[in-house]
Amino acid sequence: MGAEALGWFSSFVLLLTIATQVYKQWKSGSSEGVSKWLFVGQMTASVGFTLYSWQVGNWVFVVTNALMLLSAVLGAVIVLKHRRAARHKRASRPRAPSGAAHA
């Protein structure tokens, strides 16, 4: 397998792995235990790696890192959406009267 083909294959595997996780997170309706900082860090690194890869002319990494940036943005949007929905759900629950007697 040539170096270029190995690079594209590895890129495909990485992107498939990340896309599967983001899809699972979206489909489950929960982002419990997922830090928003994971995506902030991934976005920052992906921007830097995309620019670096472009400067050195490595198109495998330009494409890979640009798509990783997209996956980080989608992941962050999903986390924020799930957290907003959870806050809304908690706020809309009926509350027990504060002076209620316990039996």
User: Domain locations in the chain?
Assistant: 1-14+35-91
The confidence score (pLDDT) of residue 93 equals: 76
Q: Are 40 and 90 in contact (CB under 8 A)?
A: no
Reported as a pLDDT band with limits 50, 70 and 90, residue 48 is very high
Structure-model confidence comparison of residues 93 and 78, the more confident one: 78
User: Rounded to whole angstroms, how far apart are CA atoms 41 and 60?
Assistant: 21
Q: Is the pLDDT assigned to residue 101 strictly greater than 60?
A: no
Place of tokens 């996956």: 71
Q: What is the pTM of this model?
A: 0.74
The confidence score (pLDDT) of residue 43 equals: 92
Q: Is the pLDDT assigned to residue 74 strictly greater than 60?
A: yes
Q: Are 71 and 26 in contact (CB under 8 A)?
A: no
